[in-house]
Amino acid sequence: MTKNLLRILVLFLCVGSVSGQQIALLKYQGGGDWYVNPTSLPNLIAFCNENIETALDSKPATVSPNSREIFQYPLVHMTGHGNVFFSEEDVENLRNYLKSGGFLHIDDNYGMDQYVRKEIKKLFPDTELTELPKSHPIFSSAFDFPEGIPKIHEHDGNRPMALGIFFEGRLVLLYTHETDLGDGWENPEIHNNPPAVRLKALRMGANIVKYAFEH
């Protein structure tokens, strides 16, 4: 069995059941604060387990982009404010992960955009980031968002965007920009988001989780 086929088999077995699976946080290079929003993923996991019948491990894993362990996680989340850098080894491993059935959600925590777009281009140099239409199933997989990605934080006052990379017709990478979902997932006292705004963020996060596991 080739190395790539083995990776695909491992990922297939992991995706086969949501029960007991982990979501992973990507520990990338470049100096950006990949570790920001420490309460966001635990809160999103708890919300999903309570509201969309998942049984995810309550503690998210941490994984590097060049690690073989990434193939254990059907969904990898990435966030931060600053610089991002993917080495050639990172790029090859991440690309194989995504082509093998994995899913990467990148959430710009403000200030990441100018760096991460270049690194996304390394992953799929012949594919452009495209804005997802409001009709895309990720906006209705668990909760309905007829207007698309919700706005959680204002930052520069620009409209929120959900951009994607598709491989063989499947959305493999979701980049959320000017929305800052992760801040909405954090403990309520950290950013003082109104309950209704925080609920929108958690529901959209649940949609991403459900979509990633089902596709």
For the chain, which residues make up each domain, given as ranges?
3-14+43-214
Task: Report the alpha-carbon distance of residue 65 to residue 116 in Å, rounded.
Answer: 14
Residue 67: CB atoms within 10 Å: 17
| 3-14+43-214 to CATH, choices 1.20.910.10, 3.40.50.12140, 1.20.1740.10, 1.10.275.10 | 3.40.50.12140
Alpha-helical runs (H) found in the chain? 3-15, 40-51, 88-99, 113-123, 181-185, 188-191, 195-214
Q: What is the pLDDT of residue 155?
A: 72
Cα 152 to Cα 110, 155, 172, 184, 204, distances in angstroms: 12, 9, 23, 6, 11
Q: Which of 111, 108, 48, 104 is nearest to 82 (CA)?
A: 111
Per-residue pLDDT tens listing for the chain (215 residues): 444 444 444 444 444 444 469 999 999 999 999 999 999 999 999 999 999 999 999 999 999 999 999 999 999 999 999 999 999 999 999 999 999 999 999 999 999 999 999 999 999 999 999 999 999 999 999 999 999 999 998 777 789 999 999 999 999 999 999 999 999 999 999 988 899 999 999 999 999 999 999 98
Task: Report the alpha-carbon distance of residue 122 to residue 124 in Å, rounded.
Answer: 6
Q: What is the pLDDT of residue 18?
A: 45
Total-model pTM: 0.90
Q: What is the pLDDT of residue 192?
A: 86
Task: Report the alpha-carbon distance of residue 112 to residue 103 in Å, rounded.
Answer: 19
Q: What is the pLDDT of residue 191?
A: 87
DSSP classification of residue 34: T
